[in-house]
Amino acid sequence: MSKLDNPVLKMLSWRVRKLGIEEVIQVLGAVASIEDRVFTLTDVVNLLSKDIIESRQKRRSIGTLLQNLAELGYLSKPSERKWVKNAPTFSHYLNQFILELSSLEKSFHIQHQHEKEKIVKVLEKPHRLSR
């Protein structure tokens, strides 16, 4: 699987039309490289390649991507123009949720099997004992 096929990156790129997956990767890398401190959109943009820096539309999309990451909980917004990371990297942040999701899926699967079992028992005809 190439990095362009990564489903998490694809989902992040859905809501930022002007950024491709490669550029989303660059933004995530730039945010991850910022030490644990408050940062601004300008701080992130200054860590990116020149073609992104020069495009006003792409800079706006980076702001949208940061907002999306805040909605997911990876970033917090202590003020109008400042951001703070809630985990060292996005992958670290997602790790706990992937484990929780796995647990939820397993509990649903077990619950679903019990429901099937009950239905099968109800539909079975009672067998008469021969005398």
d(CA 14, CA 68): 11
- Concatenating the DSSP letter of every residue in 23-65 gives HHHHHHHHHHHS-SS-EEHHHHHTTS-HHHHH-HHHHHHHHHH
pLDDT tens column, 64-117? 999 999 999 999 999 999 999 999 999 999 988 888 888 888 887 666 565 655
pLDDT of residue 119 exceeding 60, the answer is no
pLDDT of residue 118 exceeding 90, the answer is no
What's the mean pLDDT in 36-59?
Answer: 91
| Type of residue at 3 | K
pLDDT tens column, 23-34? 999 999 999 999
Q: What is the pLDDT of residue 114?
A: 59
Query: Would you place residue 47 in the very low, low, confident or very high pLDDT band (cuts 50, 70, 90)?
Result: very high
| Helix/strand/coil for 80 | coil
pTM, two decimal places: 0.75
Q: What is the pLDDT of residue 5?
A: 80
